[in-house]
Amino acid sequence: ELESLGLQTGLFTLRQIKAATNNFDVSNKIGEGGFGPVYKGCLPNGTLIAVKQLSSKSKQGNREFLYEIGMISALQNPYLVKLYGFCEEGDQLLLIYEYLENNSLARALFGPEEHQIKLDWSTRQKICVGIARGLAYLHEESRLKFVHRDIKATNVLLDTNLDPKISDFGLAKLDEEDNTHISTRIAGT
Q: pLDDT per residue over 92-151, tens digit each? A: 888 899 999 999 999 999 999 999 999 999 999 999 999 999 999 988 888 877 778 789
Work out the pLDDT band at 172, boundaries 50, 70, 90. very low
Query: Active-site positions?
Result: 150
The CB-side HSE value for 62 (13 A sphere, CA atoms) comes to: 8
User: Do β-strands 92-98 and 145-147 pair in parallel, antiparallel, or remain unpaired?
Assistant: unpaired
**What is the rounded CA–CA span in Å between residue 110 and residue 117?**
9
Cross-strand bridge partners of residue 41: 49
Please tell me the predicted confidence (pLDDT) of residue 125.
Answer: 99
**What is the rounded CA–CA span in Å between residue 4 and residue 82?**
21
Other beta carbons less than 10 A from residue 125's beta carbon: 11
Domain positions in the chain? 3-184
- Could you tell me if residue 61 is left (phi over 0), alpha (psi between -120 and 50 degrees) or otherwise beta? left
Residue 97's SS3 state is strand
CATH homologous superfamily of 3-184 equals Transferase(Phosphotransferase) domain 1 (1.10.510.10)
Residues of the chain above pLDDT 70, percent: 75
Select the more confidently predicted residue: 81 or 9. Answer: 81
Please tell me the predicted confidence (pLDDT) of residue 63.
Answer: 64
Please tell me the predicted confidence (pLDDT) of residue 65.
Answer: 65
Q: Which of 59-63, 139-143, 170-174 has the highest mean pLDDT?
A: 139-143
**What is the rounded CA–CA span in Å between residue 80 and residue 157?**
9
CA 174 to chain centre: 19
**What is the rounded CA–CA span in Å between residue 13 and residue 65?**
17
Work out the pLDDT band at 7, boundaries 50, 70, 90. very low
Mean pLDDT of the 71-80 span: 84
pTM: 0.80
**Cβ-based neighbours of 151, under 8 Å, separated by 6 or more:** 131, 135, 166
The mean of the pLDDT values for the chain is 81
Mean pLDDT of the 20-24 span: 97
